[in-house]
Each structure stands twice: as structure tokens, then as C-alpha cells.
Amino acid sequence: RKRKRKRKRKRKRKRKRKRKRKRKRKRKRKRKRKRKRKRKRKRKRKRKRPTTHSALRQTNETACCAGQCKDNPVCENFGAWCIPRPSIPSCLGPNSPYIGPYKYERYNGPAPVDWGKIA
């Protein structure tokens, strides 16, 4: 009597492939995150660097705003502080380093200047 041959079952290789794919995806995600972080750091560094821009090179007025008013005709000099004269609106902008009464008087006592006239 002829024997019936048992059919060998093929083993499924599904799990291996799944693991491989999972690992691949994980690695990809990791790389992506790393790149993103690197870019972020780079941007931060760039932002922190001082700007070298020709427009920022100091004219008479901006030098006064920055508090470097040795013999500057547009400023009044009180000791360590430099107070822009009221005629220069650029020195009195919202983000000018111009000091204002509170800070001046906190450091130097009453100022020899009428703040109402300046600000």
C-alpha cells in the first residue's frame, strides 16, 4: 500500500519581518528627532548671536541711546548715565535702552533734569 506523504507546512516568516519593520521605524523616528533637535539648537544659536548690520553702526543719535555720550551734542551727561535730549524721538522709542527716571534715580539720587521734558 502506498503511503500518503505528509505535507510539510511552510513556516511563516511574518514575525521576523514585523520585528524588522518595527526596528526600522524606530530608528527612523530617532534620527528624525535628532535632526529636529539639532536644527532647533542651530536656530537658537543663530538668534543669540549679535547682529552685525550696517544700519546698526552707530550714528550720533544711536550712540547717545546706547549710553556713550562723551561730548555728544545730542545728549546730556549725568555721571555714568546718558540721557537723550527730548528732541531725539529715536532715543525714546519703546525698546530703546534709554533709562528713564525710575532707574536713574534709583542709582544716582534725584536727577538734575526735568523728566517730564525728556520722556
Phi, psi of 83 (to 5 degrees): -115, 120
pLDDT in tens, 56-113: 344 444 455 555 555 555 555 544 455 555 444 444 444 444 455 555 555 555 555 5
CA 70, 74, 76, 82 torsion: positive or negative? negative
**CA–CA separation, 111 and 105 (whole Å):** 6
Same domain? For 44 and 64 the reply is: no
End-to-end CA distance of the chain: 115
Note whether residue 8 is domain-resident: no
Structural domain that includes position 25: 15-48
% of the chain exceeding 70 in pLDDT: 37
Same domain? For 30 and 69 the reply is: no
User: Do residues 91 and 84 touch, judged by C-beta distance below 8 A?
Assistant: yes
Same domain? For 65 and 36 the reply is: no
* Domain tally, the chain: 2
Note whether residue 3 is domain-resident: no
Note whether residue 91 is domain-resident: yes
Same domain? For 33 and 81 the reply is: no
Query: Is a pLDDT exceeding 70 seen at residue 117?
Result: no
Q: How confident is the model at residue 49 (pLDDT cuts 50, 70, 90)?
A: low
CA distances from 56 to 51, 53, 110 (A): 8, 5, 32
Cβ count near 61 (within 10 Å)? 18
Note whether residue 7 is domain-resident: no
Same domain? For 44 and 63 the reply is: no
**CA–CA separation, 97 and 27 (whole Å):** 49
Same domain? For 108 and 75 the reply is: yes
